[in-house]
Structure 1
Amino acid sequence: MRSALLHCCFALSALSGLLSLGTGGKVFRQIKEQVRWSQELRARKHLQLYGVGGRPLVPGGPWPKAETLWQPLDHFNRQNNLTFPQRFFVNDGFWNPQGPVFLFIGGESSISEYSVLSGHHVEMAQRYNALVVALEHRYYGASINPDGLSQENIRFLSSQQALTDLSSFHLYITQRFNLTRNNTWLCFGGSYPGSLSAWFRLKFPHLVFAAVASSAPVRAQLDFTGYNKVVAESLSNPVVGGSDKCLQAVSAGFHAVDDKLKAGNLSELQKDFLCCGSLDLAEDQSELVSNLADIFMGTVQYNRETAGYDIAAVCNLMAGGGEGESSYTRLTHVLKDYLARMALSCLDSSFQNSLAELQDTQINPVGVGERQWVYQTCTEFGYYQTCEDPRCPFSPLLSLRSQLQLCSQVFGISPPSVESAVTFTNEFYGADHPKSSRILFVNGDIDPWHALGVLKDRSRSERAILINGTAHCADMNPTQPQDPPSLTLARQQINKQVGDWLEAARKEFS
């Protein structure tokens, strides 16, 4: 079982939803949470070593605190007087009152103070004396009413409502800090928030002067076959430790699993892959191959973002060493390595357990919002990562039909309604031809989500950067000594573009 994303991209800076583009499979959810936890530890260490923007932190000194802005629950129906609390953070430590405002946009998980303390946008904020503000996405983290995840109330979750939240937040910050048009607004986001960054500039050009959209899948797609096509290319890419031998071994391992499923060797599969329960139901068999595929998808999407998710390492397990073991056996080693990293004794491949998690309406103020994100895929984006294309290295059990059934089972949304919603989203925002201005689209070429992004300049002011050998939202992380040259160059290009925009704004408004 899976339903895509935007997963997170996830940057050290954000702890905010950059992480969450991904699948709805249980293993991918576990990977996202582990990456989130690991990145938070790294962010804390980075701040302890280098401070904020290179300035040491002072013990007991000012630290951004969570604040709340009460927003209309439905911006498009003023007869509805209901509101919800929206969390935000402010860092004015670099700000010159004549300086710009850098807006960091939250996404499919909670945000924290790190969204205004760490990351490439914060480094640029210090350089340009910017006020840094971050807004949590409605219905994620703490930005939701207690009954928000019910079938009745989740209908107020949409990208259009979220963009209007940003416009209200813009007005609040403008009034609070007595801003004028000389205080130029730039917005930043990665993954789904990267799309929001581009769309905020597109739909509210009078509020935000320019936007950086990192790893932004701006083109909605029902059947996202391109995701696993990029996964396959990355597993065979020697630049990041892949090889043709690795890809062939992965494909052969999944073919062997499919053959055993067709032959009814369920007890053997249950034993070899340490399943927590039986595989008697067809839905559980699909859940098993989905979970196994998630390990490879997560490794590619978060390559070298945190320990354990490294294409070179997983390819060594699948294709390295001697020739004595079959690809099937090597696939069991990959699964056991994953379980060891997660400190799990068995693999939960129960479809009913996964379904129950998505039907749970209990609010969690931290972490990734899976029920919410699956709802957005059903009502706006699709993004379903299938494997019915013969070039996919996994199992054809990862079908579009099985994923669309989730929308019906969890939310009562029919497959034709999902398809219509995806079409509307592309018409409303312009897909990967948004025809806006002053937007910089940044992608990594091994990130599977770049297949739905803007990869080439669309005009003189809609520009694109494609970074060789980097994964999801890599450019948003703080600068590190071990960064590859391609990433260093990309950040220099982003810095220059931000500087050029600010100079253009100064001339326009002076």
Structure 2
Amino acid sequence: MMLSVFPVLLSLVTAYVSARIPDGRLHANMPPMPLMPFEPVSNSVTHAKTGASMPPLNTTYYFDQLVDHTNPSLGTFKQRYWMDWEYYEPGGPILMFTPGENNAENYTMYLTNGSIFGMIAQQEKGATVLFEHRFFGFSNPYPDLSVASLKYLTIQQAIDDLAYFAETVKLPMPGGDNVIPDKAPWVLLGGSYSGALPSFVKVNKPDVFWAGYASSAVVQSIVDFWEYFDSVRRFMPQNCSADVQAVVQHFDQVFTSGNQSAITALKDAYGMKDVSHLDDVAGALRNNLWDWQKLSPLSGPGSLFFQFCDALEVKDGKNAPASGWGVEHAVNAWGTYFKNTYMNLLCGDVDVATCIGTYNASASVYTDTAVNNAARSWQWIVCNEMGFFQDAAPAGMPSIVSQLIQPVASDMACSLLCHAFASPPVPNVQKTNEAYHGWDVKVDRLFFANGKRDPWRGATVSADSHTVASTPSQPIVVSDGFHFSELRAAAGDVDPTIKNVQTQALSYMHTWMEEWRNIQGGK
């Protein structure tokens, strides 16, 4: 049985409101989301102290980055970045971040005090730098995403990019030629995969960045990441959870029964009659559950996840009890919603078999090597180094995902995607965790922010399965939020637990910047 492992690539234009998948992009694994983009009120900027006009926020700059940090003779490529120094004063920190697994040009709002990054910059009179990750967007060493090109996409090369930039860049701002890490404190920040990078960098290159900020940081690479959906199960509305479990069990019973007429009828009820492989059909149901990842304290009651639960749990104007309405109603209600409403969001004009199916080796998701294809670039990292296959809970445990969705020793999807993996193509998560210490990271001046309802929490230092102590040099602060909820400044206005995370982050960063100033003053 094949395990689908392709991320849903959500539209930046709709800021993750829709789960629509463009032609050839498959539905399988949701990545640790890149920082959620949100638009600045204006790209116009003036310096907070002098009032001088500054370049617009969306001004793109280019840095000559090494193609291969182990072989500089291969030359350089143009790596894109953006920056804002509206609060900067000499001696202030340089705050650097990347959205990670996506085109970075839609993330300029994170340069401003609409985000916690900009709030830190404002407090400490620093500058912010938005940096595009290699092989995402248009920061590509080569003009395609072929296997020959992607061999230069590794976590270590990404770490080396960040350090080489900090150590050699001449920033396009007043005094920007005199702010390398031995002359100014640099802070590396991020959320999700990009939130893991501050941890990885502090382990691998401890002397480059003075401090780090890691939001919902997936520091522990895991192949069989069934905990993702188990977290959703535990925190979603209880009646919805009960009915989803009942429906999933019904699918498993029918799909393993050998009764072809019952199998066809169930597929047709969900609009997937033409999808050949039963694990593709069962796997497609995860899309409604992945919508949990898009929730934030700023989400309204009309968000896609709660639309889905309402479709199952509201009947004749009444809400279901905690035990749900039961399997018969839930199977019919979910089918009606999925077929008549959600399928259009998921697939648009793409035929269902192409949209849902994962076995066609000639599908464009496997064969399209054009640049600016975040799904392909991210999947390369997944298949080689990080894993995160989101599947059913172990047998005998409650599960909101079909037991047909299981990790396998040799993942065909990775082979189809890149055609050149070593055998077996299983992510070498042990190597990744040993290199960057995973849950066991112990470094100085690294702030971890996590959310109790984050489905990725099991891969963070706040995982239930692994106890990591919070210390003054490596504090861990947990809100009631979701995935990197505290990054939006406005989220603190609606959730006091998120405000607490933001307040503590600002306090720790101020303390660590004072430590830098004291050390510099003593030299």
TM > 0.5 fold call: yes
Structure 1 Cα separation of the partners of residues 471 and 500 of structure 2: 21
Question: Counterpart of 2:206?
Answer: 205
Is 1:314 aligned with 2:317? no
Q: Is the 8 A contact 1:234 1:300 kept in 2?
A: no
Q: Which moved more, 1:409-418 or 1:340-349?
A: 340-349
Gaps of 5+ in 1: 236-241
- The structure 1 residue matched to 2:103, chosen from 92, 100, 110, is 110
CA-based RMSD? 3.7
Structure 2 Cα separation of the partners of residues 53 and 433 of structure 1: 41
Bigger CA radius of gyration: 2
Q: Which moved more, 1:441-450 or 1:117-126?
A: 117-126
- The structure 1 residue matched to 2:379, chosen from 371, 374, 377, is 374
SS at match of 1:432: helix
- The structure 1 residue matched to 2:265, chosen from 258, 261, 268, is 268
Is 1:384 aligned with 2:385? no
Structure 2 Cα separation of the partners of residues 440 and 172 of structure 1: 25
**Superimposed CA distance per residue, residues 76-127 of structure 1 (whole angstroms, 9 cap, x where no aligned partner):** 123x424322111111222112211111123110112334234221122122
Residue 58 of structure 1: how far off its partner (Å): 11
**Superimposed CA distance per residue, residues 116-140 of structure 1 (whole angstroms, 9 cap, x where no aligned partner):** 2342211221222111112111000
Structure 2 Cα separation of the partners of residues 258 and 52 of structure 1: 60
- The 1:69/1:288 distance shift into structure 2, 3 A limit, reads same
Is 1:466 aligned with 2:478? yes
Structure 1 Cα separation of the partners of residues 356 and 265 of structure 2: 15
Q: Is the 8 A contact 2:6 2:375 kept in 1?
A: no
Is 1:122 aligned with 2:118? yes
**Superimposed CA distance per residue, residues 211-238 of structure 1 (whole angstroms, 9 cap, x where no aligned partner):** 0100111011111121121121122xxx
SS at match of 1:401: coil
One-letter amino acid of the structure 2 residue matched with residue 359 of structure 1: Y
Question: Counterpart of 2:401?
Answer: 394
Residue 146 of structure 1: how far off its partner (Å): 4.5
Question: Counterpart of 1:338?
Answer: 342
Question: Counterpart of 1:233?
Answer: 234
Q: Is the 8 A contact 1:104 1:116 kept in 2?
A: no
Structure 1 Cα separation of the partners of residues 80 and 499 of structure 2: 32
Residue 364 of structure 1: how far off its partner (Å): 4.4
Is 1:404 aligned with 2:411? yes
Residue 377 of structure 1: how far off its partner (Å): 1.0
Structure 2 Cα separation of the partners of residues 52 and 457 of structure 1: 42
Determine which structure has the larger helix proportion and give its number.
Answer: 1
Structure 1 Cα separation of the partners of residues 93 and 70 of structure 2: 30
Q: Which moved more, 1:447-456 or 1:155-164?
A: 447-456
One-letter amino acid of the structure 1 residue matched with residue 413 of structure 2: L
Structure 1 Cα separation of the partners of residues 53 and 343 of structure 2: 39
Structure 2 Cα separation of the partners of residues 457 and 147 of structure 1: 45
The 5 Å alignment of 1:282-321 reads 282=277, 285-303=278-296, 309=303, 311-321=305-315
SS at match of 2:333: helix
Question: Counterpart of 1:177?
Answer: 177
Question: Counterpart of 2:66?
Answer: 72
**Superimposed CA distance per residue, residues 120-173 of structure 1 (whole angstroms, 9 cap, x where no aligned partner):** 211221222111112111000011145441111211101100010111110233
- The 1:272/1:85 distance shift into structure 2, 3 A limit, reads same
Gaps of 5+ in 2: 317-324, 463-467
Residue 49 of structure 1: how far off its partner (Å): 12
- The 1:355/1:334 distance shift into structure 2, 3 A limit, reads farther
Matched length: 479
Is 1:153 aligned with 2:149? yes
Question: Counterpart of 2:465?
Answer: none
SS at match of 1:407: helix
Structure 1 Cα separation of the partners of residues 25 and 390 of structure 2: 11
Residue 378 of structure 1: how far off its partner (Å): 1.3
Structure 2 Cα separation of the partners of residues 32 and 288 of structure 1: 23
**Superimposed CA distance per residue, residues 444-483 of structure 1 (whole angstroms, 9 cap, x where no aligned partner):** 1111111111124354311111111x11111111325752
Question: Counterpart of 2:321?
Answer: none
Q: Which moved more, 1:499-508 or 1:159-168?
A: 499-508
Q: Is the 8 A contact 1:299 1:309 kept in 2?
A: no
